[in-house]
Amino acid sequence: MQTQSLWEHTLTFFPQFLAAVEERAAAGATIAVIGASDGRFILPLAAAGYRVIAIERDPLALHGGEVHLPGDEHAHTTGLIDRLKLEALYDRVQVVEEDFLQAEPLGVLCDAVWTSCSWHYSANHHSSLAEFVTRMQGMVRPGGLFGAEFMMPVQQRHHLIEHYTSPEKLRGHFIGDWDALLTLRTNEFTERAHVGQLQAHTHRMGLLLAAHTPNSSYQPGKKNS
């Protein structure tokens, strides 16, 4: 591709999600990305032939502008919209410039939905983790795929914030009409400085992939044999 995302070199479980999409979704399937940023995941999905809904509220990520980089450098970054145009992918992507937690429903169910390390941001802590997950689940059609990678607690303060979760805890949101397909987790690792984190820092990350598989015998609040 002609342009590069600011997040190009950060660790991601996106290849596992993409492999699941390729296995389960038809050609031209509709995939929503919550927290589209400058297109690290949007462009590969669109280039693969999928119809993508990119939900992002940050004007800098969407339209580009000056960013502060490690080494006390400043540079102009290309936003998602211009990157899509440069790669001739703009017609394959619907950009929704809204706060995911406050936006009106899309009015369409998606074949897959993905988010990367979005709910742990403090700006999203005005809503519970359960609300974030439930809103994402509500976007997935029966038979569709849910994918999320997320930060796990490392510092003591993280253990006090539910949005820094674990695959085991997150699975509790996927009962009844959901089948957890894959959970992964990393050990602690040091990630080099990048935009938004101008010093090297320590992370733990998790992944959960789940399929929406309606089960007519399941009733919330009722014990099923």
Spacing of C-alpha 154 from chain mean position: 20
pLDDT of residue 196: 67
CA-to-CA distance for 52 and 113, rounded, in angstroms? Answer: 10
Whether the predicted pLDDT of 45 surpasses 90? yes
What's phi and psi for 73, nearest 5 deg? -100, 155
pLDDT of residue 2: 76
Q: 133: buried, middle or exposed (CB in 10 Å: 19+, 13-18, 0-12)?
A: buried
Could you tell me the domains of the chain?
14-212 (3.40.50.150)
pLDDT of residue 225: 33
pLDDT of residue 5: 85
CA-to-CA distance for 204 and 191, rounded, in angstroms? Answer: 10
136, 113 contact by CB (below 8 A): yes
pLDDT category of residue 221 using cuts at 50, 70 and 90: very low
Start-to-end CA distance of the chain, whole Å, equals 52
pLDDT of residue 198: 66
The DSSP symbol for 159 reads G
The DSSP symbol for 150 reads E
CA-to-CA distance for 126 and 20, rounded, in angstroms? Answer: 31
**CA distance readout (Å), 165 to 67, 96, 135, 225:** 29, 27, 17, 29
CA-to-CA distance for 143 and 158, rounded, in angstroms? Answer: 34
pLDDT category of residue 25 using cuts at 50, 70 and 90: very high
CA-to-CA distance for 202 and 193, rounded, in angstroms? Answer: 10
pLDDT category of residue 106 using cuts at 50, 70 and 90: confident
Tell me: the pLDDT tens digits for 122-167? 888 889 999 999 999 999 999 999 999 999 999 998 899 999 999 9
Statement: the pTM of the whole predicted model exceeds 0.85 = yes
Whether the predicted pLDDT of 219 surpasses 70? no
